[in-house]
Chain A
Amino acid sequence: AQSVTQPDIHITVSEGASLELRCNYSYGATPYLFWYVQSPGQGLQLLLKYFSGDTLVQGIKGFEAEFKRSQSSFNLRKPSVHWSDAAEYFCAVGDQTGANNLFFGTGTRLTVIP
């Protein structure tokens, strides 16, 4: 069965510091992988996605993620965090059959300190 694990519930970084959010997935085939960001009380915005090809994908707002099949990971990175990046981040794996459901992790809350 598909599943996503985000081991870090809450991360605090200083503005300007680098960021890495971890995501591990379980899926029987080559997965479709996504990172979404959610500001308080808002819906989810797609940051980036992977479904094939280059394992390093670039997204919006300066984010990137790397797909590592051997580690079943899809970690999100940003070289320099801005205060506006404070939000909840969700990793998701997409079911490639039927409904194409997304299975989400429990999220990582990012706090940015000045």
Chain B
Amino acid sequence: DTGVSQDPRHKITKRGQNVTFRCDPISEHNRLYWYRQTLGQGPEFLTYFQNEAQLEKSRLLSDRFSAERPKGSFSTLEIQRTEQGDSAMYLCASSTGTGREGYTFGSGTRLTVV
């Protein structure tokens, strides 16, 4: 297993466009998390899945954001009608769900909205 993979690594988009990011977790991990990290800040929780079920969403996740994890494998995060404030690093992480081991993070997708 090569760890958590995220695609693309970088995305530049014009304001108002839609973007979609993909995350492939470690195969035996049933929990998948999305975090957002802005410059000079620590990562902030957006949402998480246990298998295919999206169980919690942060208030940071506006209506323009949607995440899916079909079949409990990879996950996608879509941002509709992007705004400049959406520019950030979007990090995906996975875990086995006990909470004790921490997460394994991907390398992130850097979004720039121009």
A residues at B contact (CB < 8 Å): 4, 32, 34, 36, 41-46, 49, 51, 90, 92, 94-96, 98-107
Contacts and interface: CB of A to CB of B under 8 A. Distances in A.
28 contacts: A4-B42, A32-B100, A36-B102, A36-B105, A41-B107, A41-B108, A43-B91, A43-B107, A43-B108, A44-B105, A46-B103, A49-B102, A90-B42, A94-B99, A94-B102, A98-B55, A98-B56, A99-B33, A99-B48, A99-B56, A100-B31, A102-B43, A102-B102, A104-B43, A105-B42, A106-B41, A107-B40, A107-B42
A74 B93 CA distance: 23
Contacts of B105: 36, 43-45
The 6 closest A-B pairs by CB, nearest first: A104-B42, A100-B99, A43-B105, A43-B107, A44-B105, A99-B56
B99 A104 contact: no
Contacts of B65: none
Contacts of B95: 100
Nearest to B57: A99
Most B CB atoms within 10 A — which of A4, A45, A104, A105? Answer: A104
A92 B108 CA distance: 18
Contacts of B42: 4, 90, 92, 104-107
A100 B97 contact: yes
Nearest to A45: B105
A108 B97 CA distance: 27
Contact of B103 (A51, A102, A105): A102
Nearest to A35: B102
Interface string B66-84: 0000000000000000000
Nearest to B50: A99
Contacts of A105: 42
Contacts of B63: none
A67 B95 CA distance: 23
A105 B40 CA distance: 10
Contacts of B6: 43
Nearest to B6: A43
Given A102-B45, A104-B44, A42 B102 contact: no
